[in-house]
Amino acid sequence: MSAMVKLLNADGNDVVCNSRSTKLTERCSLVQIAETNSGGGPLLHPVAGATDDWVAGWNELKGVFNFFPAELNAGTTSLVIAEAPPPGVTMLVDNIKVSVLSFYDMNDLCKS
C-alpha cells in the first residue's frame, strides 16, 4: 500500500517532521489498520510509514501487510492515516493505493 502525504502550517508553508522520532509531537504520519468490536476501543496495527527522511512537500508512506485474524473478524476494520500532525498543522493525503500481492510477488519483494 502507498499514500502521498504533505503537511502544511497555518500559513500554507510545508512542515517537516522527523520520520525516526518516537515523540508524538515530532513524529510523521503512519498508515494503520484499526479494528473495533462493540464495547471496546480500536486496536491499531501500523502498516506503512515514510520510506525516507521527511522533506518539504509530498512524502510517500509505503508498506506491505497481512490482515490479522482479529482484523478480518472485527465489527469494523478501517485503514487510517494516523499520528496526525500537531495542532495548527494540516495533513493533505493523495494517491492512496492498496494492491493485493500474490505469493510470487511477495517472494520477489523479499529478494529486493
Whether residue 43 contacts residue 34, with contact meaning beta carbons closer than 8 Å, is answered with yes
For residue 24, list its beta bridge partners: none
Each of the 112 residues of the chain gets a pLDDT tens digit; together they read 999 999 999 999 999 888 888 787 788 888 998 998 877 778 888 899 888 889 999 999 999 888 888 888 888 888 888 766 677 889 999 999 998 877 666 556 555 5
The confidence score (pLDDT) of residue 102 equals: 73
The confidence score (pLDDT) of residue 26 equals: 80
The confidence score (pLDDT) of residue 107 equals: 57
Q: Given its phi and psi angles, is residue 8 left (phi above 0), alpha (psi -120 to 50 degrees) or beta? A: beta
Cell of 48: 506503512
Cβ atoms within 10 A of the Cβ of 30, count? Answer: 20
Its pTM stands at: 0.79
User: Could you state, in order of their start, the residue ranges of all structural domains in the chain?
Assistant: 2-111
